């Protein structure tokens, strides 16, 4: 089920990010040809640049809209039904973009990218929540970290598909745009064979029989009493408590520090410098004297290195813990950015300096995949109760997509003004985030949501007396556990 959710979830984000870079020249040429055919004169370069930047950034606007509506729809209809319907939206957007060249309409690319952003923005928080809720405690960190793996996998697949020998040519770029519908089709036909989230079935639908079947289907016939007790304890604490709205979550003093942490976690990923690294890879490789054809293949190798790192992260996250990977990863990444800034400054002095820059870039990407890339996703899921999780992911997704849009529109100007010294900005963000996480972020490895909430209560209420959360399980809970 993790594979099925990943194919239609964060895979799509990585795929969209990587494929759009391979269509730059083709889409611009298509817009110019369409404009010339319509109006009899070529489009002005400023207008062409504006339309292209709008095509790239409109994905973030759609993602912002999709993320904003995820809380209401998932609470009312459940995650499984929402994801299934969302696949239809992705297939529609893929069809619109695929037919744009045939219809001689670049507006269809804008519409398709917007709908694709709505679909991805809606499905991403569902993917994170769904995976976290179907996983037993001992596999929770591993399952949550797979979101990072599928994000990297989507990027690598997009880089492979975008090569000129495959779908990145002048004649086949519409097929590359439409290929995002294939993962949606796979998920649409496979997800119905899997159950709804067991905590959702028990706590919101009061469907004990459905919850029993879901647990057996997902976890087998073994003993899962500890996880079941966690669900029942959370149900006991949620007695007569509804799913909070975004505004209610922001006003709730009991979730203040959880909210701070999820915002800082999201902002740190956006501002860690990974986008800048991918941008400068081309310049570093060209400065080293590699041919342009080889540059594309070597960039692909960097994406594959990140993918391999996320696989390793899935195997070590339960050993080292989330906090250690995030804090340590950001410290190492900040140090690497300082070294990359030095080597880029000296690359014209020594012929071997660009090779040092390339090695540091690969190491930076690997550290990101090993640490913050996977552990951040797991931490987001684990620090909120089920009643707070939907609005928390709305807030996180809104900040994430807002960051995608803002960085996508401002980053080229930052690079043009500061050149490689822009890495110093990201270095400051990394060390600041690492310090905040060291001081305030609790470790969640091997802890139940009740234990994690108690850790945050020390920050939320400090010296105030906090009413103890009920540690008992209701009588009906014992009956349910016995029957399981």
CB 181 within 8 A of CB 94: yes
Asked if 444 and 382 touch (Cβ cutoff 8 Å), the reply is: yes
| pLDDT at residue 454, rounded to an integer | 86
Residue 288: per-residue pLDDT: 60
Q: Which pLDDT does position 478 carry in this prediction? A: 36
Structure tokens at 193: 């064979």
Give the whole-angstrom CA distance, residue 174 versus residue 168: 9
Q: What is the per-residue pLDDT for 111?
A: 94
Closest CA to 101 of 92, 109, 90: 109
Please report, to the nearest 10 degrees, the dihedral formed by the alpha carbons of residues 29, 299, 329, 378 taken in order: 60
Please name which of 236, 294, 264, 265 lies closest in space to residue 373, comparing C-alpha atoms.
Answer: 265
pTM of the model: 0.74
Q: How far is CA 60 from CA 116, 247, 399, 431, in A?
A: 10, 23, 10, 27
pLDDT at 474: 38
Which ranges of 346-422 would DSSP assign to H, the alpha helix? 353-370, 372-382, 389-418
Backbone angles phi, psi at 134, to 5 degrees: -90, -5
pLDDT for 286 = 66
Q: Where are the domains of the chain?
A: 1-204, 249-461
pLDDT at 234: 63
- Rounded Cα gap, residues 460 and 102, in angstroms: 57
Q: Which CATH number fits domain 1-204: 1.10.10.10, 1.20.1250.20, 3.90.25.10, 3.40.50.300?
A: 1.20.1250.20
What pLDDT shows up at residue 484?
A: 45
The architecture in CATH of the region 249-461 reads Up-down Bundle (1.20)
Taking alpha carbons only, the member of 267, 252, 474 closest to residue 385 is: 252
Predicted pLDDT of residue 63? 85
Which two three-digit tokens encode residue 373? 């890339």
Taking phi over 0 as left and psi of -120 to 50 as alpha, with beta for the rest, 78 belongs to left
* Range list of H helices, 9-44: 10-21, 24-39
Please check whether the two domains, 1-204 and 249-461, share a CATH topology.
yes
pLDDT (tens place) for every residue of the chain, 484 residues total: 888 888 887 888 888 877 877 787 888 889 999 999 888 888 888 888 788 878 877 888 888 888 877 777 887 788 888 899 999 999 999 999 999 999 989 999 999 999 998 998 888 878 877 887 888 777 777 777 777 788 888 888 888 888 878 887 888 899 999 999 999 999 999 999 988 888 878 777 777 778 878 888 888 876 666 666 666 766 666 555 566 778 888 888 888 888 999 889 988 888 887 776 766 666 666 666 667 677 777 777 877 888 888 888 777 887 888 888 999 999 999 999 999 888 888 877 877 787 888 888 889 988 988 888 878 877 877 888 877 877 887 888 788 877 777 776 676 667 667 777 778 888 999 999 999 999 988 888 878 788 888 888 888 887 665 554 443 333 334 333 434 4
Q: How many residues does the chain have?
A: 484
């Amino acid at each position: 089920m993790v594979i099925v959710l990943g194919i239609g979830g964060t895979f799509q984000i990585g795929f969209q990010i990587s494929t759009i870079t391979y269509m730059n020249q083709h889409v611009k040429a298509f817009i110019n040809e369409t404009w010339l055919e319509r109006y009899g004169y070529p489009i002005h370069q400023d207008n062409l640049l504006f339309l292209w930047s709008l095509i790239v950034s409109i994905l973030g606007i759609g993602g912002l809209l999709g993320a904003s509506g995820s809380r209401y729809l998932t609470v009312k209809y459940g995650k499984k039904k929402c994801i299934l319907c969302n696949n239809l939206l992705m297939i529609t957007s893929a069809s619109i973009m695929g037919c744009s060249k045939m219809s001689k309409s670049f507006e269809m690319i804008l519409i398709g990218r917007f709908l694709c952003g709505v679909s991805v923005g809606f499905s991403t928080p569902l993917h994170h929540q769904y995976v976290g809720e179907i996983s037993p405690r001992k596999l929770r960190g591993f399952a949550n970290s797979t979101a990072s793996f599928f994000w990297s996998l989507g990027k690598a697949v997009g880089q492979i598909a975008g090569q000129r020998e495959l779908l990145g040519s002048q004649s086949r770029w519409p097929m590359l745009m439409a290929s995002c519908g294939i993962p949606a089709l796979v998920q649409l036909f496979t997800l119905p064979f899997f159950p709804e989230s067991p905590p959702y079935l028990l706590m919101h639908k009061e469907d004990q029989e459905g919850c029993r079947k879901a647990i057996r289907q997902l976890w087998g016939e073994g003993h899962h009493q500890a996880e079941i007790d966690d669900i029942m304890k959370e149900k006991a604490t949620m007695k007569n408590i509804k799913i909070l709205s975004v505004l209610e979550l922001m006003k709730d003093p009991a979730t203040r520090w959880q909210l701070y942490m999820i915002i800082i976690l999201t902002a740190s990923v956006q501002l860690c410098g990974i986008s800048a690294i991918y941008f400068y890879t081309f310049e570093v490789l060209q400065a080293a004297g590699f041919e342009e054809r080889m540059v594309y293949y070597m960039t692909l190798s960097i994406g594959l290195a990140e993918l391999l790192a996320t696989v390793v992260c899935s195997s070590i996250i339960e050993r080292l813990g989330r906090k250690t990977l995030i804090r340590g990863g950001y410290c190492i990444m900040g140090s690497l950015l300082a070294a990359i800034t030095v080597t880029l400054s000296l690359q014209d002095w020594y012929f071997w300096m660009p090779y040092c820059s390339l090695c540091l870039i690969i190491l930076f990407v690997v550290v990101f995949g090993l640490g913050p890339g996977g552990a951040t996703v797991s931490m987001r899921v684990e620090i909120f109760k089920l009643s707070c999780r939907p609005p928390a992911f709305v807030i996180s997704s809104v900040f994430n997509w807002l960051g995608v849009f803002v960085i996508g529109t401002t980053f080229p100007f930052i690079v043009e003004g500061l050149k490689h010294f822009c890495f110093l900005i990201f270095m400051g963000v990394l060390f600041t985030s690492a310090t905040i996480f060291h001081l305030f972020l609790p470790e969640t490895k091997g802890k139940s949501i009740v234990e994690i909430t108690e850790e945050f209560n020390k920050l939320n209420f400090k010296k105030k007396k906090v009413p103890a959360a009920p540690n008992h399980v209701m009588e009906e809970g014992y009956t349910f556990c016995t029957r399981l």
